[in-house]
A and B are shown apart, each in its own frame.
Chain A
Amino acid sequence: MSISIQNMGFSYGKHEVLHNVNAEIPDGCLVNVLGPNGAGKSTLFRCILGLQNGYSGTISVNGKDMRKLSVKERAREISYIPQSHSPVYDYEVMDVVLMATGNDLGMLRTPGRSHMLRAYEALERIGISDLAHRTYTQISGGEQQLVLVARALAQNSKTIIMDEPTSALDYGNTVRVLSCVKQLAREGLSIVQSTHQPDQAFLYADKTMVIYEGSVAAYGSPKDVITKELVSKIYGIDVEVNSLYDDRVRVCVPMSEVVHS
């Protein structure tokens, strides 16, 4: 089991964000997490990654209780792909990827040739090794996101968490990044990503988890989970779910726009 969450809950002071969260994410599974703003998706991710302590219940990754691991040991089990953002300083793409390879290094050490090779292999696996010597801040947003995917690969962990990886990308780049992620899951990685587009789940997820009002409202195959009723309820708008190409894919349409016109 890649990620196993049992009776997990979290509160900021008196404000309860998550309660009674239970979920099992199998190995090599691509899971899509849906939920309205403020439902607790990011908090759940922060707890799994060990960025937020003080949760109740247990979270284990690859069979290991995250609470008992050091920061370094955690990084070997799970890596994190943030939304692409501009760092303060201009690093080369190669250096950005290299940063994740050093979790076997002592505090006073710098990466060597084997780390460089690992970083380069990660870039090559994503198909962007020609960007290696470009400046990270000067490549496009889509390329930056792919570099961060490569960085997570270079970390050599079996599980990856992505927080809204495509929210700042245009349509083409969204498709490119998500196909790349899907391919990685096919190659055996477990990937959990949050998104605001229910449609994406039908194309790019093995399972969909819906977080609503601080708990798991539904978890299963996208076609079972993303229904007219559920999407309408969690986002508070009237939605119709329709199928295309003999139900090989489905789409969500907000009804208010269609009916009035």
Chain B
Amino acid sequence: MENNERARQLSHEDSRKSGGFDFASVSTKKAALFIICLAVAMVVVSAVSLLVGRFPIDPFVGLQILFSQIFPIEPTWTTQVESIYLNVRLPRIILALLVGCALASAGAAYQGTFQNPLVSPDILGASQGAAFGAALAILLGFSSFALSATAFTFSLATVAMVLLISTRAKGNRILVVVLAGVMMSSLLSAGVSFIKLIADPTNQLPEITYWLMGALNGATMKEVYLAGPIIVVGCAVLFALRWKINILTMGDEEATTMGINVNRTRFVIILCATLVTAASVAVSGMIGWVGLVVPHLCRMVVGADYRKLMPASMLGGATFLLIVDDIARLLSTSEIPIGILTAFVGAPFFLYLITRKKRA
């Protein structure tokens, strides 16, 4: 409270000095600083991630290898090092950044449009749809690329089905959409269980189980090319729609009277959020927590305004997932699936944050 009072007084003094209204409040300046810090953190973590691992790479050599892709530089390193660097580490880091950004921005967008802070990106069945597609693909012995494509298709098809069902149901639109999503998810999760039951227990069953836990190892440039464009375009649209999400949180009627075409706007937001979620899940498996926790943490710092929350969630999600993936890579020789780690890191941190005393 005292802080707030002081902040108000300060902003008053500011406005008196400038002879007008101070548009950039103290909280806006704080939010801008936070977003810049996140951007810097993302770049630093990415650079460090390229160098650390089971085969540490000298920073200078690392830079040289990157530049050697564009300029002709006489290699002072072995082809093995270059291969690890460019074909294993680089795609994995790019994918971690993309998936983290996608899940966090989709989570933030869903939380706004459904006016509920407890919503996560899989609320409409995107994850369970992908899981069913992937399990089916493994059962049928598809290649890894075909597996991703199948998971992506099933994910989109599930959400489309949920939206279709919801248009035919009566009652509160948001409630009906969420209920339909929960029902489709449980149906598909039963489907996954059935596939596990009939899958070959020596090779298929472990593969399905491992996929469901979510992992970024084995990422190649192929996955980046598959998911990258969809995630970049989807996130760009979500970013552009950040102000409209603000208005949607006021409820459908108020948003309509303020001149927003609610149904069309919500459809575009759901479409983009679903596309980026489906693309992420298709290449990385089920990675929970990022989409729920990162927007929450960012909201605690920058506030509810999506003009700040959306960029903060995007940068925060990318950085968070990359850090967790680094931990997954470095912690032990047999990698821990990142889906488990996000919960191990995310849940206690989240519980700490909601139970800590509010600053006086």
Contacts and interface: CB of A to CB of B under 8 A. Distances in A.
Contacts of B262: 71
A88 B249 contact: yes
Nearest to B12: A130
Contacts of A134: 8
B254 interface: yes
Contacts of A70: 261
* Interface residue range, chain A: 35 or more
A215 interface: no
Interface residues of B, number: 40
B258 A155 contact: yes
A87 B258 contact: no
Contacts, number: 99
Interface string A40-77: 00000000011100000000000000000011101110
B243 A71 contact: no
Interface string A72-91: 10111011101000011111
Given A91-B246, A102-B247, A108 B25 contact: no
A248 interface: no
A206 B260 CA distance: 32
Contacts of B241: 107-108
B27 interface: yes
Interface in B1-42: 7-8, 11-12, 21, 23, 25-27
Contacts of A51: 253, 256-257
Most B-side CB within 10 Å, residue of A50, A99, A102: A99
Contacts of B256: 49-51, 71
Interface in B222-275: 237, 240-244, 246-247, 249-251, 253-254, 256-262, 265, 268
Contacts of A49: 256-257
A133 B261 contact: no
A38 interface: no
B259 A92 contact: no
A110 B257 contact: no
Nearest to A113: B23
Given A71-B256, A110-B242, A92 B303 contact: yes
B117 interface: yes
A79 B12 CA distance: 31
B243 A109 contact: yes
A147 B303 CA distance: 19
B258 A133 contact: no
Contacts of A110: 242-243, 307
Nearest to A103: B259
B257 A99 contact: no
Contact of A133 (B27, B115, B250): B27
Closest 9 CB pairs of A and B: A75-B259, A103-B259, A89-B304, A80-B257, A108-B240, A110-B243, A133-B25, A72-B259, A88-B115
Interface of B: 7-8, 11-12, 21, 23, 25-27, 112, 115-117, 237, 240-244, 246-247, 249-251, 253-254, 256-262, 265, 268, 299, 303-305, 307
Interface of A: 49-51, 70-72, 74-76, 78-80, 82, 87-92, 94-95, 99-100, 102-103, 105, 107-111, 113, 116-117, 120, 129-130, 132-134, 155
Given A99-B247, A116-B21, 19 more contacts: A49-B256, A49-B257, A51-B256, A72-B261, A87-B250, A89-B299, A90-B304, A91-B246, A92-B303, A100-B258, A102-B247, A103-B258, A107-B244, A109-B240, A110-B243, A129-B21, A130-B12, A133-B8, A155-B259
